[in-house]
Amino acid sequence: MMVVSGLLIWWATPEAAAYIRAAPPSALAVYVVPTMCRALYALEFGRVISKPDARRWALATLDGRWWALVEGAQGGSLTEETKEEVAAFVRHVAGRPGTARAASG
């Protein structure tokens, strides 16, 4: 899971935060949120699954705080106003146990 940990280290950087602020909401819906769902699954089970499967798993597993974000990403309904929630989700995932950042911090 070194690759997943390395990916999540980047998502914890100021560059990633700048990417989230600058990216169109469609990129957040298609790439960022599903990637975080996939990373969480990979950390939990040691394998990567498809974006749709990762979203379904996330909706069944994650705390209710994240449901609207994951559902919004799936439906393509993220907006400029949801960028801070995307950033919070990224911080949540990047700080999870099992990531190099969480282990060192």
Look at the block and give the residue holding tokens 């994650």: 62
User: With contact defined as beta carbons under 8 Å apart, do 102 and 95 qualify?
Assistant: yes
Look at the block and give the residue holding tokens 């960022």: 32
Nearest one of 92, 4, 101, 9 to 47, comparing CA atoms: 4
Confidence of residue 104 (pLDDT cuts 50, 70, 90): very low
36-82: per-residue pLDDT in tens? Answer: 999 999 988 989 999 999 999 999 999 999 999 999 999 988 999 99
Minimum mean pLDDT among 2-11, 25-34, 59-68, 76-85: which range? 2-11
Taking the C-alpha atoms of residue 14 and residue 34, their distance in angstroms, rounded to an integer, is: 20
Mean pLDDT of 19-42: 94
| pLDDT more than 70, % of the chain | 87
Which value, in Å, is the radius of gyration of the alpha carbons in the chain? 13
Mean pLDDT of 81-94: 93
